[in-house]
Amino acid sequence: MIEVDHLTKQFGTKRAVDHLSFTVKKGEVLGFLGPNGAGKSTTMRMITGFIPPTSGDAKVCGISIVDNPRGAKTKIGYLPESAPLYNDMTVIGFLKFCASIRGLKGTEKNDAVERAIETCFLNTVAQQSIDTLSKGYRHRTCLAQALLHDPEVLILDEPTDGLDPNQKFEVRQLIKRLGQTKAILFSTHILEEVEAACSRAVIVDRGKIVADGTPAELLDQSGTGSLTDLFRKVTSRDTEAAA
Amino acid sequence: MSSCTIYKRELSSYFSQPTAYAIIVIFLLFSLGLTFTFGEFMRVGDSSLEWTFIFWHPWVYMLLAPAVGMKLWADEQRTGTIELLGTFPLSTWSAIIGKYLAAATVWLIALVLTFPIVCTVNYLGSPDNGAILSGYIGSFLVCCTFLAITMLVSACTRDQVVCLIVSVSICVLVLLCGYDPVTRELSKVLPPSIFEGVVALGIWDHFSSLSSGIFRLKDFIWFGSIISVCLLGTNAILSSKRA
């Protein structure tokens, strides 16, 4: 479903993503871990077609994001990191707008919006203006936008960031449920999420993959049975760079 | 299709907030206020409206058109919604066209709302309505040019205030460098070749021929090319910013 092949992004002299390759199959939830600035968001932005890669390619359902970005984008649902929304719209107005852009019309559009509202528990705020929403609802509205067209591939950039424990739990359950029929790539730096929601995880550091495996395999690799220990072992720390 | 969806969203965004109403009311107050004061509408008896009414439009536009256009891309970049637009299956170009047409529509509505003055001159005298229409077309094209300039500036910055200041400055220059009293002074200080170049950039010559009822192909080409260059520039800037 998602095939990333030697994806590279160079910003000036800094190489944010360095020949990254991995795949995510249907029915798989891949956790994308790494310290801040490891290149997680940049990788996701390249797979979703927001920024072009310096070299390499990513294929979504067999469609290259470099050769046919529009075709690939129709297969992807994307939740950007900060859950950006149009504050002057209502939740339902925003979702209808996104559905129209996705090419949905008439009853098909209304059904898709209704389904997304139900899936993301937005019933109570559907008619509310987006600028009055709390952070949790904003996140869920943006997630609903990503689900509208029932995409085969979901790319979620820190979907649980800033949510309270109840909301985090709900979103993880949702990811797990959706992951049964879709290919999901989601980034996080909360390690317990890997065990809670992922079927596989990769750890990236400075644009390269430094660990890859199922949660159980990663726990084995750590030697101590703790993902935190593995994370600290394989990733570089800001303090090291300064020293 | 996607241009149309963007157009509808932008237009409803103007009218769901006070922006459009404020702009339209201020435009009507200023344009009609100037007509009856400095334009000396009652004394001159100019039924073609050329000098008493249409003449003042560019002066009002140079301050107000950037206020309509400043949010178009600056706001998308500030709130991060550009990342949503960039990952929807639509081209940057269709978003540019949709947004531009929405801003132009706000101004078209403002212009249409000046109809009482046209009714008045028809009631009081027997004007050449073709010339009045030509004046309106000239006025609208000046406004569209200023909007295109603003859109180009808006793509460069995420700060609306910076966009407003820079766009107003450019609009003032474009307007003044073709305005007779200014060109007379410029001709005294500038070498002829540079002077001609500066005057060719000015909007006044093209506007004044239309406002006096003369249709010249070169004026339409001038307006068309400035607008196209600004929109193409917007596309280039938005694309290069992501690379």
Q: What is the pLDDT along chain B (243 residues), one digit of tens a residue?
A: 789 999 999 999 999 989 899 999 999 999 999 988 887 777 877 777 878 888 999 999 999 999 999 999 999 999 999 999 999 999 999 999 999 999 999 999 999 999 999 999 899 888 889 999 999 999 999 999 999 999 999 999 999 999 999 999 999 999 988 888 888 888 888 888 888 888 878 888 889 888 888 888 999 999 999 999 999 999 999 999 877
Chain A residues lying within 8 Å of B2, measured CB to CB? 101
A127 Cα to chain B: minimum distance (Å)? 14
Confidence of residue A241 (pLDDT cuts 50, 70, 90): low
| Cα dist from A191 to A197, A218, B98, B183, whole Å | 10, 11, 43, 69
B110 Cα to chain A: minimum distance (Å)? 22
Closest CA to A159 of A78, A215, A79: A79
Confidence of residue A37 (pLDDT cuts 50, 70, 90): confident
Residue A100: pLDDT over 80: yes
Confidence of residue A242 (pLDDT cuts 50, 70, 90): very low
Q: Alpha-carbon torsion B84, B87, B93, B98, what sign?
A: negative
Q: Verify whether the Cβ–Cβ distance B84 to A145 is below 8 Å.
A: yes
Which of B12, B81, B88 is nearest residue A84 as measured by Cβ atoms? B81
Which of B81, B82, B88 is nearest residue A101 as measured by Cβ atoms? B88
Residue A205: pLDDT over 60: yes
Residue A107: pLDDT over 90: yes
Who wins on pLDDT, A170 or A109? A109
pLDDT of residue A102: 93
pLDDT of residue B178: 82
pLDDT of residue B191: 86
Residue A243: pLDDT over 50: no
Which of A50, A78, A101 is best to mutate for the B interface (most B CBs within 10 A)? A101
Q: Tokens 């509202």 belong to which residue?
A: A117
- B205's tokens: 């010559």
pLDDT of residue B187: 84
Confidence (pTM): 0.92
Q: Tokens 């979702």 belong to which residue?
A: A95
CB atoms within 10 A of CB B170: 17
Chain B residues lying within 8 Å of A48, measured CB to CB? 87
Residue A150: pLDDT over 80: yes
- To 10 degrees, what angle do helices B18-36 and B92-112 make? 40
- B220's tokens: 């339409």
What are the DSSP calls for B134-186, one per residue? HHHHHHHHHHHHHHHHHHHHHHH-S-HHHHHHHHHHHHHHHHHTTSHHHHHHH
A48-98 pLDDT, tens digit each: 999 999 999 999 999 999 999 999 999 999 999 889 999 999 999 999 999
pLDDT of residue A240: 60
A136-148 pLDDT, tens digit each: 899 999 999 999 9
- B124's tokens: 């009081």
Q: How many angstroms separate the CA atoms of A112 and A95, rounded?
A: 9
Q: How many angstroms separate the CA atoms of A141 and A129, rounded?
A: 11
Confidence of residue A111 (pLDDT cuts 50, 70, 90): very high
pLDDT of residue A239: 59
pLDDT of residue B242: 79
Q: What percent of chain A has pLDDT over 90?
A: 59
Q: What percent of chain A has pLDDT over 70?
A: 97
Q: How many angstroms separate the CA atoms of A14 and B127, rounded?
A: 67
Helix, coil or strand: residue A67: coil
Pick the residue from chain A with its C-alpha nearest to B18. A88
